[in-house]
Structure 1
């Protein structure tokens, strides 16, 4: 079953609507992250696209990521609960919920506005060039997983 296309305005707006239902006091249905940490965690996917903040994997690690992780991230198969998290995505410190939420909404809007053409065959931080569908799946599936984790 195809996942919703995050590049479509109505899909992006639906995700943003779900994010706007979160409050600083929203608790997870599973896992250890606070809601502020979860939103910061979701921002990492976009930081890897729009900011030069995270070091790219070396050649060997890149091969491992493409061989063992890529298909878990870019396909339509949902993530399992409490799946191990890559080190760059682990948020240990407390974060400002409202600031992280505003950043995430901004990233989602920017991604939707840039659209499919911008991402068509664009190299990802860790997995090489991705198709439009792979980019959309990666963004949407990750957001949906964590929004579901927090009950929205």
Structure 2
């Protein structure tokens, strides 16, 4: 089923790769600049970390998407549209790059120090277990690091 943010060494690997990101780096695909990507990831990770336990059972469609995403697709799909609340294109001051990078690393480390299991609702996949959230976070961050050649 692939890597997880909870895998041994995963947080260190993401941190090392992230430290290679520069404010003026050009993406290999997509339209976000490095600061926008950081803000996007920070918003998503903060929301995941603050989420409450799912109360709804997933629909058949959500179960199908979940199976494909976690068991068939190796990588996060390029061009996948996230929730509108995480769309920051054109809404970020590029001068905040270092601040956002620091925040990214801080939030990343919170996954290591969790005092509870993540079992929240995902808008496309429905209720996800702690293990699935770990795999989702890994795939999402890996996708954006690869977007910038890291």
d(CA) in 1 for partners of 2:25, 2:60: 36
What secondary structure does 1:114 align onto?
A: coil
Q: Which runs of 5 or more residues in structure 2 are unaligned?
A: none
Q: Residues 5 and 68 (structure 1 numbering): CA distance in 2 closer, same or farther, change over 3 Å? A: closer
Q: Residues 47 and 66 (structure 1 numbering): CA distance in 2 closer, same or farther, change over 3 Å? A: farther
d(CA) in 2 for partners of 1:76, 1:106: 31
State the 1:4 CA deviation: 1.8
Aligned to 1:56: none
Aligned to 1:100: 100
Aligned counterparts, 1:7-86, within 5 A: 7-51=6-50, 66=62, 70-71=66-67, 74-75=70-71, 77=73, 78-86=75-83
Q: Which runs of 5 or more residues in structure 1 are unaligned?
A: 53-58
d(CA) in 2 for partners of 1:98, 1:24: 8
Q: Residues 22 and 65 (structure 1 numbering): CA distance in 2 closer, same or farther, change over 3 Å? A: farther
TM-score by length of 2: 0.77
Q: Residues 76 and 150 (structure 1 numbering): CA distance in 2 closer, same or farther, change over 3 Å? A: farther
Aligned to 1:144: 142
State the 1:13 CA deviation: 0.3
Q: In the comparison of the two structures, how many residue pairs are matched?
A: 140
TM-score by length of 1: 0.76
Aligned to 1:55: none
RMSD (Å) for aligned C-alpha atoms: 2.8
d(CA) in 1 for partners of 2:48, 2:103: 14
d(CA) in 2 for partners of 1:144, 1:76: 17
d(CA) in 1 for partners of 2:40, 2:88: 6
Deviates more, 1:70-79 or 1:85-94: 70-79
Aligned to 1:5: 4
Q: What are the Cα deviations for residues 50-82 of structure 1, in whole angstroms up to 9, with x where unaligned?
A: 348xxxxxx8xx969846765565556222222
